[in-house]
Amino acid sequence: MQRTPYDKASPQGTAQLDTLKAVRRGYIVVQQDTRGRFASDGEWLPWAYEHQDGYDTIEWAAALPGSNGNVGMFGASYTGNTQWAAAIAWTSSSWA
């Protein structure tokens, strides 16, 4: 899973992972524009929604048909921070 403010359709956003190779090996790859950016609705407020939106995205991805419930995340820069925020929210009782 990757949540990014840099446009999920951009090939630069996948520099850390060969997504086509991952899909060919049976992984489900989820790329999401963060709230208010590119194809995502809402208002762009940097850092404001990353914990909750990341948590919600993990829950959604874990329940996708064909998923085994495990969700891996990738990204660098702000995108990397969205992964950390989601992981913190996932392990925090305040969101769970």
pLDDT of residue 14: 62
Give 19's DSSP letter: H
Strand partners, 31: 2
pLDDT of residue 90: 84
Average pLDDT per 10 consecutive residues for the chain, totaling 96 residues: 92 76 95 97 96 95 96 92 92 61
pLDDT of residue 63: 96
Cβ contact 65:15 at 8 Å? no
- 19 burial level (CB within 10 Å; 0-12, 13-18, 19+): middle
pTM, full prediction: 0.88
**Domain ranges for the chain:** 2-91
Q: First-to-last CA distance in the chain? A: 19
pLDDT of residue 93: 52
pLDDT of residue 13: 61
Residues 6+ apart with CB under 8 A from 91: none
